[in-house]
C-alpha cells in the first residue's frame, strides 16, 4: 500500500507537470532552446506518468482487496494510457534519431512499442465491448490507428520530404491526447468533487487535438513543398 501511495503521488506531480508544459513546445520555435528543453521536461514527466500508471493499474487488478468491475475496468484503461503515452513519446523521439534513413527500419524496440499499442488497443476495446464500458470500447481505437500507422512508417522507406518532422509532431501530440484524456477521466472529476463526468467529456481531448494534428501536418507539408520548389 505504501508503494501504491508513493506511485500515486509521483503520478499526480508528473501529470500536472506534463499538463503545465506540453503546450510550450507546440507554440515555441521548432528546434529552439525552449522547444528542446521544455520538450525534454515533458518527456521526462510522461515517463514517470507511464511507469506509475502501469504500476497502479497492475496493483488494482491483482492486489486491490476492494476491487470492483468498474475499478478493474478503469485500471485496464490506466494501463492502456501508460502504453499509449510511452509509445507515442518514444516514437516522437526515435523518428528524430533516424530522420536521415532511406530504407525500412527494423530496430526491434521501435517496432515493439507500436505493435504493443496496436495489440493492446484491440484487446482492451474487445474487453470494453464485453463489459459494456463506452470509454474503453472506443478510446483504444486511437491506439490501434496510431500503432498501425507507426508500424507502416518504420517498415516502409520514407516517401515524403521532412517525413520525420511530421511524425515527431504527430507522436508528441498523440502523447498530449493521452495526457489530457487521463486528466479528464481521473483528475478533473476529483478536483471538481464529482464521482464521474459524462462519457462525451472523455473524448473531448481527442475531438479537439486530432484536427490540430491534421492541421499542423497539412500546414508544414505545404510549407516544406514551397521551400523545395523555391
**181-219 per-position pLDDT tens digit:** 877 877 666 665 665 666 777 777 778 777 877 777 777
Q: What pLDDT score does 177 carry?
A: 82
Q: pLDDT-derived band of residue 50, with 50, 70 and 90 as boundaries?
A: very high
Q: What pLDDT score does 193 carry?
A: 63
pTM, rounded to two decimals: 0.86
Rounded-to-integer distance, Cα 221 and Cα 205, Å: 24
Give the residue from 106, 95, 212 showing the smallest Cα distance to 160.
Answer: 95
Q: What pLDDT score does 212 carry?
A: 75
Taking only the tens place, the pLDDT of each residue in 135-155 is: 889 889 989 999 999 999 999
State the average pLDDT for the chain. 86
Q: pLDDT-derived band of residue 110, with 50, 70 and 90 as boundaries?
A: very high
Amino acid at each position: 500500500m505504501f508503494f501504491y501511495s508513493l506511485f500515486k503521488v509521483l503520478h499526480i506531480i508528473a501529470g500536472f507537470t506534463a499538463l503545465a508544459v506540453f503546450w510550450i513546445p507546440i507554440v515555441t520555435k521548432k528546434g529552439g532552446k525552449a522547444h528542446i528543453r521544455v520538450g525534454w521536461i515533458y518527456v521526462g514527466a510522461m515517463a514517470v506518468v507511464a511507469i506509475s500508471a502501469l504500476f497502479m493499474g497492475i496493483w488494482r487488478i491483482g492486489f486491490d482487496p476492494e476491487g470492483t468491475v468498474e475499478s478493474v475496468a478503469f485500471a485496464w484503461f490506466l494501463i492502456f494510457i501508460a502504453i499509449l503515452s510511452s509509445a507515442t513519446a518514444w516514437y516522437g523521439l526515435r523518428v528524430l534519431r533516424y530522420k536521415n534513413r532511406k530504407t525500412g527500419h527494423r530496430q526491434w524496440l521501435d517496432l515493439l512499442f507500436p505493435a504493443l499499442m496496436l495489440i493492446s488497443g484491440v484487446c482492451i476495446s474487445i474487453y470494453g465491448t464485453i463489459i459494456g464500458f463506452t470509454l474503453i470500447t472506443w478510446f483504444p481505437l486511437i491506439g490501434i490507428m496510431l500503432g498501425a500507422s507507426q508500424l507502416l512508417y518504420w517498415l516502409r522507406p520514407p516517401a515524403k520530404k521532412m517525413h520525420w518532422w511530421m511524425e515527431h509532431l504527430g507522436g508528441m501530440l498523440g502523447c498530449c491526447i493521452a495526457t489530457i484524456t487521463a486528466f479528464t477521466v481521473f483528475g478533473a472529476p476529483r478536483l471538481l468533487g464529482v464521482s464521474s463526468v459524462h462519457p462525451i467529456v472523455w473524448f473531448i481531448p481527442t475531438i479537439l487535438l486530432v484536427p490540430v494534428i491534421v492541421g499542423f501536418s497539412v500546414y508544414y507539408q505545404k510549407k516544406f513543398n514551397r521551400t523545395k520548389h523555391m
